[in-house]
Amino acid sequence: MVKTKIRFVDIIYWLAIIGADLFVYIILGLLLMGYDDNYDSSKGEYWSLASMNSTEKLIYFALQVWNILNLIGVFFIGHRLYKRIKYGT
């Protein structure tokens, strides 16, 4: 079993990545608050693309892309941890 060193720089690095990720989620969430404020039921169902204008659709799709990138990142990190635990590299 390989003993790995955890350096202070590594902790700061990962905290910065997590902070940047949360910052993007906060910004996208705040931008989508305009949809909640201006929702008109005559344009369509709540959260349907028909009830959104083009800016809200762009923000919505950006949020979905960001979710997919986060899932890929979680699977990548999980795979690397699995390899490190199983093979000790």
Hey, what are 48's tokens? 């349907």
Residue found under tokens 């699995």? 82
pLDDT of residue 1: 53
CB 43 within 8 A of CB 51: yes
The residues spanned by each domain of the chain are 8-87
Terminal Cα distance for the chain, rounded: 9
Residue 88 confidence (pLDDT)? 77
- Record the tokens describing residue 14, joined without a space: 């990962």
> In this structure, what token pair is assigned to residue 9?
């720089």
**Alpha helices for 1-53 (secondary structure H):** 8-37
Beta strand residue intervals within 8-89, DSSP E: none
Contacts of 34 (CB under 8 A, 6+ apart): 56
In order along the chain (89 residues), what is the average pLDDT of each group of 10 residues? 77 95 96 90 91 94 97 96 85
